A = this chain, B = another copy of it.
Amino acid sequence: MRFAVTYRIFAADLAEARARAEAIALEQTVEIPRDVVPEGYIAEEILGRIEEIGPEAEGRFRATISYSPDSAGAELAQFFNVIFGNSSIQRGLRVIGIDPGEEMARRHPGPRFGIDGIRALCGRTRGGLIAPVLKPQGLDADALAEIGYRCARAGADLIKEDHGIMDQPMAPFRERVEKTAIAVARANAESGAETGAGTGRKTLYFPSLAGAPDEIEANIRFAKQAGADGVLVMPGLLGFGVVARIARDPWLNLPVMTHPSFLGPYVLSADTGFDHGVMFGTLQRLAGADISVFPNVGGRFGFSAAECGQIARACRDPAGPGLAMLPSPGGGMSVARAGNMAAMYGTDVVYLLGGSLLRLGDRIEEGIHAMRAALDRAEGAAR
């Protein structure tokens, strides 16, 4: 059972588009000219195969190319390498869809928790999740833990660390994770929260994963043992494989939230890279992320409402790959915008709250309460 990638090809006519599709089929697999490809297994199985090609609009064509699971092997990196490794360096080419097929879906089963799993962990059975961000970089571990405590006391569903907080001297990874996990657990206990699915609510804590490649394995285990409820990972810098490594591990049993840092150039130009939904939905889901952070419309980044909508749909598409996951728009959320956001994203969504919350200083709890109230009202109105 082959997997299929759909490319948008910018070309003058169908003949040119077909020639480019044939070149992609070679480039992404054998990487040699067609006349040198050995007959038999390599030509028949390994070589990419054009399954469908046709016009999409003036100067734009759509080609679906299928590949062999043998070509992609068991690793996520090699899977992505077949999808768009060298061809990513070609202009006028964009990945607009990925169908993993049965075999690759088995090898890369996707999110361990998904929407229902995350809801069960924090006990928020309905409505959007509120996720304040611990920052700024430069605070020490005690100060960050204290903000975490306040946010948990206020009933935040999930607390994530800023992606820019990794293992700096002012708040080293292990000291910070240990202190913040303790602070959040204390707040949970004081709030009478219960762990587990069902009635009780609990604030989840997601530290930002740090460490060189030969330290990261130990740091993941440390976070788990220190009491973290999940991990924030930047696949653009640490590699998508780190997401998959965490998602697959039954002992860890930790959800993963992915962050878009360093991934911007993959989506910003319409004629290169990946469609927004493929990058921040499909690829994250194939890697095994349960929550995908992306820049919200109306914030500091230029994503349009249509692009954000495409991402949310790709995250939650019941057809897969794997379990449906939570989109997490970052930036641009406020009490005033809660109505718009609820109308746009529905209820299966994680709202990041950053700088606007920190502005409140000692009244950060009021900010979270106000946001919850605004969101409940907006979601009630939308029902």
Interface residues of A, Cβ cutoff 8 Å to B: 23, 27-33, 35-38, 41-42, 45-46, 70-78, 80-82, 84-91, 135-139, 162-164, 166-170, 210-214, 216-217, 234, 236-242, 244-245, 260-266, 268-269, 272-273, 295, 300-302, 354-355, 358-359
When all copies of this chain in the complex are counted, the total is 2
User: Do A170 and B70 touch (CB < 8 A)?
Assistant: yes
Complex Cα gap A72–B137 (Å):
10
User: Do B73 and A234 touch (CB < 8 A)?
Assistant: no
Residue in A46, A85, A263, A358 whose Cβ sees the most chain B Cβ within 10 Å: A85
Residues A73 and B166 in contact in the complex (CB < 8 Å), given A137-B46, A239-B213, A301-B90: yes
Closest A-B pairs by Cβ, 4 of them: A89-B264, A88-B264, A30-B136, A42-B138
Question: Contact check: which of B81, B167, B265 meets A166 at CB < 8 Å?
Answer: B81
Complex Cα gap A87–B236 (Å):
13
Residues of B within 8 A of A163 (CB): 81, 85-86
User: Do A168 and B78 touch (CB < 8 A)?
Assistant: yes
Complex Cα gap A286–B73 (Å):
31
Complex Cα gap A90–B262 (Å):
10
Question: Contact check: which of B38, B78, B90, B212 meets A245 at CB < 8 Å?
Answer: B212
Question: Contact check: which of B75, B135, B213, B264 meets A241 at CB < 8 Å?
Answer: B213
- Contacts A265-B269, A268-B269 given; 18 further ones with Cβ under 8 A? A28-B164, A29-B164, A31-B135, A31-B136, A31-B162, A32-B136, A32-B354, A33-B359, A75-B167, A77-B212, A85-B234, A88-B236, A90-B264, A90-B301, A237-B239, A237-B240, A238-B239, A265-B265
Complex Cα gap A167–B107 (Å):
14
Residues of B within 8 A of A167 (CB): 73-75, 78
Chain B, Cβ-Cβ closest to A35: B359
Chain B, Cβ-Cβ closest to A90: B301
Residues A238 and B88 in contact in the complex (CB < 8 Å), given A31-B135, A31-B162, A82-B164: no
Distance in angstroms from A217 CB to nearest chain B CB is 5
Distance in angstroms from A93 CB to nearest chain B CB is 9
Residues A241 and B240 in contact in the complex (CB < 8 Å), given A31-B136, A167-B75: no
User: Do B216 and A213 touch (CB < 8 A)?
Assistant: yes
